Each structure stands twice: as C-alpha cells, then as structure tokens.
Structure 1
Amino acid sequence: MKNEKETRRKFATDPVPDLMTDLHTTSTGLTQKEAADRLEKYGENVITREKQQSQLLIFLKNFTSVMAILLWVSGFVAILSGTLELGIAIWLVNIINGVFSYWQEHEAQKATDSLMKMLPAYTQVYRDGKLQQINATKMVPGDVFNLQAGNAVPVDARLIKATSVQVDQSALTGESVPESKKVAFDAGQGEFAESNLVYAGTTVGAGTATAVAFATGMNTEFGRIAALTQQQKPSLSPLQLELNRLTKQISLIAIGLGLVFFVSAIFFVHYPVAQSFIFALGMIVAFIPEGLLPTVTLSLAQGVQRMAKKHALLKDLNSVETLGETTVICSDKTGTLTQNQMTVDHIWTPAHSFTVTGQGFVNNGQIQLDGKPIKYGTDADLDLLIRLVAFNNDTEVEPSKGSARPKILGTPTEASLVILAQKSGIDTKAYSIKYPRLKELPFDSDRKRMTTIHQHDDHTLSICTKGSLSDLLPHCDTIQENGKVRPLTEDDKKAIDDANRKYASLGLRSIATAYREVPQETDKEKQLDDLTIDTAETNLTFVGLAIMSDPPRPEIYEAIKKCHRASIKIIMVTGDSSLTAKSVAVKIGLTSDKARVVTGGEL
C-alpha cells in the first residue's frame, strides 16, 4: 500500500514533461501502433474477476450446511425405519429450501455485478495526433484523452489541461460532494485527494479537461479495490454459527435418546434387536426439527425483500441477520442523512434579508420579503445578486421527467443557484445570450473564488465573482445598498460577518457575491488577456450572500428514533465544518446540543 501511494504521488508531483517522458508519450497522444503494442503488453482496460466457482458448486453449497446434512441423514434414517413417505418429505424440504436459497442469492449476485458497468463505453482519445472515439476497453497507459461534464473517467490519469473541473469520487471515497480538480498539484486531505489526478470509476460533474493515462484495468485504484473484494475470504455469520451449534446439540440429544430407547426396548420391553433398532431410528427422526431450516430461510428471505424495498442490496441471505446485530452505525452526512440537494434558504443583502421557499432541485418555491412574495425587477440588490449567481455558473439543471429527479450537470451548490434564479422568474438561457460570457477564471481550492467576465453592453464588461466570504470580502472596497454603490466600511464588514456567523450557527453555508464593471477598450481581446486573477478580482463591489442548506432526508427523523430505541449508537462522519455538522445532527435528533464534536486532527 505504501508503494502504491508513493507511485501515485510521483505521478501527481512530477512535471508534465517528465511524466510524458516516463510514460513514453506526447501531448498529442500515441500512434496506433504504439497503442496496439501496449494493449498487448498491459491487456484491456477492464475489471477482471478471479476464477469463479462453477454454478454447479454454488448450487450444491446450498445443500451442504450442517443442518442440511442432518436433514439428509434423518431422511435416510426415516427410510431405514420403514417410513418411506416421511423420508422423502424430509428430503423434499431440503431440496426446496436449497433451490430457494440459490435463487435468492443468484438474483442478488446479478445486481452486484453492475460494478462492471461503472466504466464508460467510449472515450475521446488522441491517436496519431487526431482526436478519435474509441472503446474505453482499448485504452492504454500513455493515452491522452478528453473529459467533459457527464463523462465517467475510464482510467487513472494526470490532468494536463483543466477548466472548472469537478469530479464525483464517491465510488472510491464514499463522499458525495464533488472534488475540485486542477492542473497544479495540491495534496489535499484524505485518500485520493490529489488535485491533479482523476481515477477510474469516478464521474466528471462539471468542466472540461485533457489528461494522460498512467494506469488501466486492474492497475487502477478502482481495480485494486475490486481485487480486494474478490480476495475476501467467506466467513460464517453469527446465525450460521448458532445454527451449526444447535444442529450438533440436536444431533447429540437425538442420538443419545435413540440409544436410550434402543437399550430400553431390548432390556425392559424385550423387543427383538432388529425391531428395537427400527424403533430407536424412528425416535431419532422424531427429535429432528425438519421445519427449522426452511423456517429460517423464509424468515431471512423476507428480510432481504424488505431491505430491497428500502433500496438496500444483500448478496447473502445470512447478511440480514448480521445486520440485526448492529450496535454502532457510522454515517456520512451529505447524501446519506441529507438529500444532497443544496437549496438556497435565504438571501442576505445590506438592505434586506429574504427567505426562499421550496426545497430540492425543483423550482416550486418563491423568494419572499417579510412573508410576501417578491419577483425579479422589484429590488435592485436582489436582482443584481440573482444575475451574478446565474452568470457565474457552470451547472445545468435539466427539467425532470414525471416524478424523476432533475438531471444535474455540475455541482449541487451551483445547481441550487440555478434553481434560485428560476424561482425569481428570470430566463437564465435568455440572459446568457443577452450577456454572453467572454472569459472565465475557474474556481480553485486555493483562492476559493470563481470569476466570469461578460459583455454588459457595447461599452462595458461585467466582472462577476462568487466564493467563500472570507476569501472574497478582502477583495472588495465598495458595497451596493438599495441600488447605490458606496465605500465599504469596517461597520459594513462587521455586519456582513455577523450575518454569516448567524446563518452558520444554524447549519447553513453561504456563497458571497461581488462584481465590477469596466469600460470596454478598443482592443477587447488584449483587454481580456490582461484580466487575470490578480487584475480582475480586485476593487470589487460586495452585493450579498446566498445562504443554502442540504435538507435532511424526510425519513431520517424516524430512522434515527428507531435506532435509538434499538440502542444503536449513530456517529456522523463528515468533511463539513464542526459548526454545520453539529447543527444538522441536533436538527435531525441525532444528538443534543451538548454533544462533543471531534475533528479529524483531534482524532
């Protein structure tokens, strides 16, 4: 594991020219011949599986448990004792139970095999200096390929170009919040956090990128995880151990009582030995609980069905009982306890504080001031903030079809801002045509800001910036209040900071917005080139805060109550701030406001 991390770090930290040299490739990719040679050397880019047991062996396994063997033996004993019908009935019970168990586990296995489908079918790859669409299974180390929003990443790769890239790495980390990616190296926190590496099995949520592959197939991190799951040795569940123990006890008791009756029949009743033996065999069969195994199997099958209705998949029937022995649950927050549907709840401007109704990625809500609906065009500060979050946005929200959840091409945070603009009543697409984007300064984890530059009119360019308050406010020297711009004072900064703290204490997070308008110069292209991060994100006018939350899942309140009644302890594990995490935990009834929050560093 240490060597794997060191190798991964080397691919992340080496200069791009050195990396290209090590991979024996160029910025224009491989030739067809080189790719063919490497495909022969490294194999196809697929997740392979260790040699599986034959279906016959898997089928027979359901008839060879200790209890099943006892039933086979008891059926045989019943036949020896002269009760042919009973023996056949016992064997039929065993056969029906085994077939049913096999069918249940076979159906679950088909569902879990969907792991193989997590890699994309086709990828845009440079071959012979030209961009071509090839089957992702034919990719090899050294391939240079393109990524865009919605693409699944086919290989482990190093970014060599990137624009506003956000990647969902939940397949590797379990964390549903997208990771920002860029060309420059940043170690980040936690596993797979390198800023310039993307991994097979993950998905691009926003932005575009060009990357060079350094690992394919089973050599990827995704492949290593798949290999580990295949190496897992099967172990008996607590229920299986208990049933085996019970079976042995029943067998000993039945045989012991059979011997007692055999001896008693000979010495006390004076039966012939043969007749006494048949009598003893009948008593042994009578003590065997033939209905126990099917009763247990049917109970477990019902549990599997109930879990399936709750969208939980179990490969093995006995896992249901194992889940029943749970005493502690460690749960992520975003997407597990919450819906992973960021929603703007409030808008704060220096003049007013607005509330926003409606939750989730649907625009069935409204913006309110003092409890009354307010539309776009009635408050200058609100109008400007909505335009800023609509312009400064790389996410698209495709309308839902029927009861399905709308498709988000981007990040949940930016999606909530698109929904906010829709709730205000503006046509975001029409505005994007009226005020076209000329340039973008992408978000990155260092400065925590994103800036877009738009054509305002024939003579003016608009610089729109959003980001974290602590990183944006120092770049503002004016503030807009009631439609008028004035100097930003220390009192203003305190009022803004107090408002942000108040919302943070409620478990909400904020996005700060600011802008600046500059006269358009004769040579617009040169002017745009000169508008860099240092020159564009300065002398900004502060506009306001968009306050958002990730609403808890409606069913989580009752689920937590049931866990507490069952004496199951729940621990929230999240990457959010301690203030937000505690607020959400208290809100959903997970803990009290006196609970201690342990940070990663303390742990």
Structure 2
Amino acid sequence: MSRPEPDPTERLEPLLRDLGSSRTGLTSREAARRLVHYGPNELRRRGGRHWPRALGRQFTHPLALLLWAAAALAFVAGIVPIAVAVMVVIILNAVFAFAQEVQAEKAVEALAAFLPVQAKVLRDGRPQAVPAAELVPGDVLMIEEGDRISADARLISGGIEVDLSTLTGESMPVFRSADLADTGVSLLQARDLAFSGTMCTEGQARAVVFATGMRTELGRIAALSERVQPEENPLDRQIRKVSRLIALIALITGAAFVPIATFGAHLPVSEAVVFAVGLLVGNVPEGLLPVITLALALGVRDLARRGAVVKRLSAVETLGSTGVICTDKTGTLTENRMRVTHVWTAAGTYELGDAPVSGDARRADPALAGLASVMTACNNARRDLAGTLTGDPTEVAMLGAADRLGEPGAAGRLCLFHFDPALKRMSTVDERDGGTWVDTKGAPETVLPQCAAIMEGGAARPLTAERRRDVEQVVDDHARQGLRVLALAVRRLDPGQPVPRRREDAERDLTLLGLVAMQDPPRPEVAEAVAHCHAAGIRIIVVTGDHALTAAAVARQVGIVGERPAVVTGEQLDRMSEHDLDALLREHRQLIFARSSPEAKLRIADALRAEGHVVAMTGDGVNDAPALRRADIGVAMGRSGTDVAREASTVVLTDDDFATVVAAIRSGRQVYDNIRKFICYIFAHTTPEIVPFLVFALAGGAIPLPLTVLQLLAFDVGTETLPALALGREPAEPGLMRRPPRERSESVIRPAMLVRAWLFLGVICAVLSMAGFFYVLLRAGWHPGDPTGPGSPLHHAYRQATTMTFLGLIAGQVGTAFAARTEHASLRSVGVTSNPLLLWGIAFELALAAVLIYAPPFQALLGTAALTPDMLAFVVPFPFLVWGADEIRRWLLRRRKAAP
C-alpha cells in the first residue's frame, strides 16, 4: 500500500526549523548576524576584474610588441620623430581596445539588474521594507502583484502567478501556491517555490527565503555564464600570425643586410648596422593596427544603422566567417504577432477574417457560440479604457477571435486553475447562461485525453477512438501549415454541485467544442535573407521551443528547409550521446530542433564548434546566456530579449529580425576582404623597399645606394598610411554573398596573396623605381663605380636619382592601391570612383610627396632634390603600368575559372 503524500503544512515545519525561522520571520538582530555569515544578496564576479592587467595586455599584444621594437630601433638609429609617432600609435590603439573590452564583458553585472532595490519582509513580527541586498535565508518575504522576487523562497501562504521567463523562457505565467507540494521534479518545476529575478504578475503570498545571492538559481546561471569563457576570435589569431610573419621578414632582411653590406659593399660595420636598422623599421607596418581598427569600427557603425549593435570590434570579422546560424523561430523568423485564422468544430473549418462570422453559420453550428464563451471566460487578457486589448499575445488573439465569432454573455469567474507549462492547459470555473461551467483551453495533446465527448450538431456525442484520430489529424494538418493549435472544451456542473477546488476534479469528462488555429506570420524579408544565406553556403538550423510541425512549417515557408527536414525534439536530443549528436549534425544539413531547452542550445553550439564551424546563435532569455557566450557570435534580441541576454551576447538586434543577421554577416565578409586588401597592399611594398638595398650591397658599392634610410621611412610612414586606411572602407566586390564560408582555420594570408604581393606587384614596382633611378644617373653621365658623394660632380644627380626612386615607389604605391581594391573582379565592376576616401588619400600622398621633394627643409632632412619636368613625365605612367598589369592578371584568372 502506497504511503499518502504529507500535507504541505506538515512539510513546511521541518523547513522552518532547519532555517531557524518561523512564520513571523526573523528578528532584526538575527538578520544582521546572518548577513555577516551568508554575505549580501548580490550576484558577483569571482576575483573581480584586474584592470591594470587587462590594460597591460593591450600594450603587450604581439603586434604592439613589434611596434615597440620598431620604436626602439628608430631611437637607436637616431630617428626620434619616427619613434615618437610609432609610440603614439601604440598608446591610442591600446586605450581604444581596452575601452572595447570593458564594454563587452558585463553579463554578470546585467544579471544583478534583475534584483530589486527594496524587498518587503517580516522582521520583528511586522512588515518592513529592507534593501534586497540584505535579505538572508530565513527571512519571510511578502510578495504582491508587480513585485520582482528578490531571493529563492518557499511559499508558506497564499498563491501567486509568476513570470518565470527570465529563467525558463516560458512566456506564460505559472501558478505557485503554498498548498501545492511537488516531489520528484526539478526546482524550477516545483509549484511551491518562487525564484530570484522573477516577477509576480498576480496574487499575494508569503514565502520563506532559503537561498540568496550566488546560491540562487539566478546565481547558478551567473556562475555558469562566468565559467563559459568565449574563446579567442579568429581575427585575433590571424593578426598574431600576420605579426609573426612581418616580424620574421623584418628580422631576416635586417640581419641579412649586415653581412652582405659589410663583406659585399665593404661598408664599415657601424654604417651597415644603421642601414639594417632603417630597413628593419621600414618593414614594420605602423599602420596595420589603425587600419584594422578603422575597418572594424566602420563596420560596427554601418551595422548599427541596419539594426545590429556590435559590442566587440573583432566580432565584425567573425561574423564574416559564420558558417552556421542557429536561430529561434518566434520573433526572429516571425513577427511575434498572433492572430486566429481558423476555427474548427465537428461541423467543419471556418476561416476567420476581419469580418464577424455570419449569423447563419452561428445558428447552424451552436459550437461556435460555445467557443466564443470559452475564449472570453478562460482568458486573462483585458481591454483597457481606450479599448485596446492587453495581455499575453495568445490570449489577446483569442479575445479578438471571440469578438468575430459572436457576442458571448457575461460570465462571473468562480475559480482559476492557472496555465501549467507541464500540463500545457488552463481552466476556469465560471457562472454563465444560468449554470456553472468548467472552461478549459490548452495544447490538444493534453486537452483531448480529458475529453469524453465532442459537441456535434448542438449535442454532446461520445468521443470515440476513431473520432479522436480525426481530431488529431486536423491538429497535425494545421500544424503543418505553421499554425499554433489550441483545443477548447467545457463541462457543465450539475445544479448544486460544489465548485471543484482541485484541478483533477475540474478537468475531467470534458466536452470538446473545437480547435482554434493561430498564425504568427513570417517576416516578409526573411525569405530573401535565407536565400542569400543558402547562396553563401551558410547553414541555418532552427532551434525553438515550439511544436515540431509548426516549426517545420514556418522553416519551410521562409525557405530554410525543404519538404523532408530532420526534426529532433528536446526529449530525443536529451537521449542522444555526443557521438550521436555529432553524427546528426554531419549527416543532416536541414535540421530543426523543436521543444528545445536552453541547455540544448549549449550542446548544439559545442557540437558545431567541435566540427570546426563558426557558429552564430540567437537567444533572448536569461537562460540563453551560456549558449550566447559559448557561440562564436551570440545574437540577442533587442526588443523581446532580456538585459542578461543582451549583455552576454556579442551582437544585439534592435529589430529582432533575422534579415539583420544576414546583413551583419555580409558586412563581416566585406570587412575581412578589406583587411586582406590592406595586408596585400602593405606586403606589395616590401619588395621595392628591399631591392634598392640589395642592389647596393650585391654591387659591392659600385652602384650607390638608390634610396636613403630616411627616404625609406618617409615613404613607409608618411605616404602609405592614408591609402591603406581608405582600403578599409572599400565597397564589397560582386559575388560577396555567393562565396562559401571560410574555414575556421583559414589564414588571412594565403600563398596566392604573397605571390601576388611580393613576386608580382612588388617586382613590378621595384623594377619601375629602379628604372627611374638609373634613368637620372645615366643621363648625368654616371658609370658604375663613379663617386657620387658630397663634393663630387655627380652628387646633385645622385640626389635627384634617389628622389626618383622615392617618387617611383610612391607612384607604384598609387597603382598598387587601385590594384588591391579587388581580388578577382575588374576595377570597373566596383567603380573607379566608388571609394572617394582612397582618392583623397592618393591626393594627400601626392601632395606630401611634392612637399618632401620641393620644400628646402625636407630636402635638407631627407636628401631629396627637385626633379625636372622630363623626370616627372618618366614617372607618370608608373601607376597605370602597375594597375594595368594586375588588371590583366585578374582577367586571365577569371577567364581560366570560367573556361570549364
């Protein structure tokens, strides 16, 4: 014989005894003592934030270290202005990056915002308002409608409706009562418990606190969010690789020049070292960090205009490498605007438009009037003084449908059995039409088992097994169309029968009136965005808490899946091993996870990342925070999302629109392309910077140095930066969203880029600049080995020759800038003038070159000399030759690609 469940009151006394409390609460003195023992009721980050260390990391970043080395070498070489300029770049970038880091990591602090400032408790036997941070276990909370609950507590009297969406994601309020005691269920499902951070939407109750601060369920989520650390993003890894490569190139060229100059050109060791230092500093791209920062900042600004707020600059690039989007359905793919579209009774299906149902239909089918009555009575939505319906979207939709079905008579509520997320139904006991009725609405799979009859032809007829299958078929048919279906049923109590006080007594022997089908229409722009994703090779996985058929129908309507997607329910996912989940994700490209929990989102994100995918995950609840932090890109809803989700995410959508996610991915791809264009532009100048020194060294001094160290530095720092910055603002190439996603391991520097930069563009620029150098010297009558030093007859011609090399480098730089604007497409396809910032940058570059060449102070500093018109005419074709050669190369590549 089974042992009966103990009375809830009997179960409460041991808890009060264990907590050392009573129904009248604690004394102020005891509460103060416990506050010292348990600590404040706050959510906190373990260890705090180490501000000096975080700031110090910005100064010891790999590229920052390379720039520090460049500054130090410039000081050694006695080039103080260059050293100071490099240090300014380091400081500005460090401060900017540190500010971004501070703004990006606030998930736990946002969780704390769910705790109210004040709480009402019983202290010293009377009600008091105390700071929520001073609540301790054993306190008795007084909870009323509109209160945000301040700690985890067990109800000791009364009953309340609680919005648990911040913890469970469930949109409907749930009923919690001191008279309900559950065993064998999770804490969040226990009907006698209330939790920190949730909201009381109706009723009054008293509850004894049993957990505060980090020991609450909210604290557990905060601790989980803290433990789930986001990994280093792909861009940071790529920058580190680029920095190492640049450092290696600079060190090799600098170190190799010393023995070559000493033994080949017979230079003194001290002079060879000075040349090597200049070469080293010249090979360090001081503009790399500013250009990357600017490109990312511009991407952030553009995305903010489109409705996506990006909180971490490097996340813009990560968006561009996204290969999988795990998206919710409600509010992201759909408009989150419920409307009843169909009503089904035993007599048939009625399509509800804006006009009321005809009187003939209502007279022919009495079940319609019954449906209108249940829609109105079993409903907590209300119409305000202005006539606007307010409340849960589903219940608002039901009231609107009731208005179109007819005019139900007034009903007086006698009892309410709140919506239970486990049972998925709600019931009321109401007086109307001269009798007492039980009115029930809920998910068909939970209401149908409670029904014994169905309303047919104005009379209740037995609900046979065959008739049940017919009703279930109607439910499935509606769900396949993407409609949410609710079943409505009634039972009239016998005259004199007492009002049932237990749910089990009320929700039995019901008569099914019919089904109500509601639609949350897909956003009109989503289908096009999904098509762009498919063209770009981006996989979309729907992860939702909705019914499997409904989720599949909506996904099918917007083009995410075809006719036969793989649908996995939350229960099926829970039974899967990690190996099974990995196999599922590999074998099925069209996937829908229905009735999924937030923990399921975390599992899915981990599994996809383990397969090497870059994952974007959408979410809106507190319980989505761990998954949002785990994903490469956490995308929170700005309108419907919680503060915690917004803070834990990387991107916040101000319009909750899936199309905005796709726009963000497009922008990320564009930014990544522009970073690669800039790096190609920088690397293309390595070869022409090294060649003059190699020519001098390998000639054994017979050929004078074609470019001085100071001219090299002026070229590298002064004229290169603005065009490089402009390339970070380059418009997208055609076909950007028709390329497959990049692999997580793909490097920003590819062998083809190095060949193009060093051995194609770089060689052309080097040949042209050296041609200008020899053009001036040979016209002046120079022969190899002739002296060109100060006081010699050829000294002025030599200064003009080095100036020609300097100007030739700048002219080649202009051609390289136009060539680097596209990787495969022709320049005409993107427009010669489509990047006005580049045109201004080139204009500034040429103006600066004129100043450095013709201004006497700079002539004395850099060793330049004024050039004659014929020399300038010799240099004019250089940009067109560089750009034209690369245009032909790209044309041949396109032709070869199109040949098959």
TM over 0.5: yes
Q: Which stretch of structure 1 is more off in the superposition, 447-456 or 249-258?
A: 447-456
The 1-side partners of 2:532 and 2:359 are apart by: 39
The 2-side partners of 1:298 and 1:162 are apart by: 59
TM-score when normalising by structure 2: 0.55
Pairwise CA RMSD: 4.0
The 2-side partners of 1:307 and 1:112 are apart by: 26
Question: Matched residue of 1:282: which SS?
Answer: helix
The 1-side partners of 2:266 and 2:171 are apart by: 81
Q: Does 1:47 align with 2:46?
A: no
Q: Which residue of 2 aligns with 1:456?
A: 432
Q: Which of 59, 71, 76 lines up with 1:75 in the alignment?
A: 71
Q: Which residue of 2 aligns with 1:389?
A: 375
Q: Which deviations, in whole Å up to 9, do the C-alpha atoms of 1:202-227 show, x marking residues without a partner?
A: 44566665433211001123223323
CA contact (8 A) 1:557 1:589 kept: yes
Question: Matched residue of 1:123: which SS?
Answer: strand
CA contact (8 A) 1:187 1:195 kept: no
Unmatched 5+ stretches in structure 1: 1-11, 358-365, 522-526
CA contact (8 A) 1:78 1:86 kept: yes
The 2-side partners of 1:393 and 1:468 are apart by: 15
Q: Which residue of 1 aligns with 2:648?
A: none
Aligned pairs for 1:28-39 (under 5 A) are: 28-39=24-35
Q: Which residue of 1 aligns with 2:560?
A: 590
Q: Which residue of 2 aligns with 1:469?
A: 444
Structure with greater Cα Rg? 2
Is the strand fraction higher in 1 or 2?
Answer: 1
Distance change in 2, residues 1:125/1:538 (3 Å): same
CA contact (8 A) 2:144 2:205 kept: yes
Q: Which residue of 2 aligns with 1:120?
A: 116
CA contact (8 A) 1:465 1:514 kept: yes
Distance change in 2, residues 1:112/1:497 (3 Å): closer
The 2-side partners of 1:261 and 1:373 are apart by: 98
CA contact (8 A) 1:74 1:87 kept: yes
CA contact (8 A) 1:476 1:488 kept: no
The 1-side partners of 2:467 and 2:422 are apart by: 26
Question: Matched residue of 2:59: which SS?
Answer: coil
The 2-side partners of 1:305 and 1:27 are apart by: 56
Q: Displacement of 1:286 after TM fit?
A: 1.2
Is the helix fraction higher in 1 or 2?
Answer: 2
Letter in 1 for 2:368: L
Q: Does 1:226 align with 2:222?
A: yes
Distance change in 2, residues 1:179/1:534 (3 Å): closer
The 1-side partners of 2:13 and 2:103 are apart by: 49
Q: Does 1:287 align with 2:283?
A: yes
Q: Which residue of 2 aligns with 1:297?
A: 293
Q: Which of 175, 182, 185 lines up with 2:182 in the alignment?
A: 185
Distance change in 2, residues 1:386/1:309 (3 Å): farther
Q: Which residue of 1 aligns with 2:515?
A: 545
CA contact (8 A) 1:181 1:197 kept: no
Q: Which residue of 1 aligns with 2:678?
A: none
The 2-side partners of 1:309 and 1:153 are apart by: 37
Distance change in 2, residues 1:208/1:306 (3 Å): farther
Q: Which deviations, in whole Å up to 9, do the C-alpha atoms of 1:256-284 show, x marking residues without a partner?
A: 21223333333333333333322221111
Q: Which stretch of structure 1 is more off in the superposition, 216-225 or 340-349?
A: 340-349
Q: Name the count of aligned residue pairs.
A: 562
Q: Which of 551, 557, 566 lines up with 2:536 in the alignment?
A: 566
TM-score when normalising by structure 1: 0.79
Q: Which residue of 2 aligns with 1:504?
A: 479
The 2-side partners of 1:145 and 1:277 are apart by: 77
Question: Matched residue of 2:40: which SS?
Answer: coil
Distance change in 2, residues 1:377/1:196 (3 Å): farther
The 2-side partners of 1:520 and 1:258 are apart by: 102
Aligned pairs for 1:85-164 (under 5 A) are: 85-109=81-105, 113-147=109-143, 150-160=146-156, 163=159
Q: Which deviations, in whole Å up to 9, do the C-alpha atoms of 1:50-76 show, x marking residues without a partner?
A: 343454543443232110121122123
Q: Displacement of 1:387 after TM fit?
A: 2.8
Q: Does 1:328 align with 2:316?
A: no
Q: Which deviations, in whole Å up to 9, do the C-alpha atoms of 1:233-258 show, x marking residues without a partner?
A: 67543322322222222222212212
Q: Which deviations, in whole Å up to 9, do the C-alpha atoms of 1:112-141 show, x marking residues without a partner?
A: 743321222233333344444433222211
Q: Displacement of 1:388 after TM fit?
A: 1.6
Q: Displacement of 1:192 after TM fit?
A: 4.3
Q: Which of 270, 273, 276 lines up with 2:269 in the alignment?
A: 273
Distance change in 2, residues 1:116/1:540 (3 Å): closer
CA contact (8 A) 2:429 2:499 kept: no
Q: Which residue of 2 aligns with 1:413?
A: 394
The 2-side partners of 1:35 and 1:485 are apart by: 63
Distance change in 2, residues 1:300/1:112 (3 Å): farther
Identity, % of aligned positions:
36
Q: Which of 401, 413, 417 lines up with 1:441 in the alignment?
A: 417
CA contact (8 A) 1:187 1:193 kept: no
The 1-side partners of 2:267 and 2:359 are apart by: 97
Question: Matched residue of 1:597: which SS?
Answer: strand
Q: Which residue of 2 aligns with 1:6?
A: none
Distance change in 2, residues 1:234/1:381 (3 Å): closer
Q: Which deviations, in whole Å up to 9, do the C-alpha atoms of 1:348-379 show, x marking residues without a partner?
A: 2333533345xxxxxxxx2565xx99999998
Letter in 2 for 1:84: V
CA contact (8 A) 2:163 2:201 kept: yes
Letter in 2 for 1:127: R
Question: Matched residue of 2:113: which SS?
Answer: helix
Letter in 2 for 1:63: F
Q: Does 1:167 align with 2:163?
A: yes
The 1-side partners of 2:363 and 2:127 are apart by: 46
Question: Matched residue of 2:25: which SS?
Answer: coil
Question: Matched residue of 2:559: which SS?
Answer: coil
Distance change in 2, residues 1:494/1:556 (3 Å): same
The 1-side partners of 2:257 and 2:542 are apart by: 60
The 1-side partners of 2:245 and 2:359 are apart by: 73
Distance change in 2, residues 1:223/1:489 (3 Å): closer
Unmatched 5+ stretches in structure 2: 1-7, 577-900
Distance change in 2, residues 1:540/1:232 (3 Å): closer
Q: Displacement of 1:512 after TM fit?
A: 2.0
Q: Displacement of 1:47 after TM fit?
A: 0.9
The 2-side partners of 1:407 and 1:133 are apart by: 34
The 1-side partners of 2:83 and 2:389 are apart by: 59
The 2-side partners of 1:51 and 1:184 are apart by: 39
Aligned pairs for 1:304-453 (under 5 A) are: 304-306=300-302, 308=304, 315-356=311-352, 366=354, 381-396=367-382, 409=391, 411-421=392-402, 434-444=410-420, 448-453=424-429
The 2-side partners of 1:172 and 1:535 are apart by: 31
Q: Which deviations, in whole Å up to 9, do the C-alpha atoms of 1:436-461 show, x marking residues without a partner?
A: 3222233445655433223336x543
The 2-side partners of 1:554 and 1:275 are apart by: 70
Q: Displacement of 1:407 after TM fit?
A: 10
The 2-side partners of 1:319 and 1:187 are apart by: 43
Q: Does 1:485 align with 2:485?
A: no
Q: Displacement of 1:229 after TM fit?
A: 3.9
Q: Displacement of 1:109 after TM fit?
A: 4.7
Q: Displacement of 1:98 after TM fit?
A: 2.4
Q: Which stretch of structure 1 is more off in the superposition, 85-94 or 314-323?
A: 314-323
Question: Matched residue of 1:547: which SS?
Answer: strand
CA contact (8 A) 1:153 1:198 kept: yes
Letter in 2 for 1:184: A
The 2-side partners of 1:124 and 1:24 are apart by: 19
Distance change in 2, residues 1:155/1:61 (3 Å): same
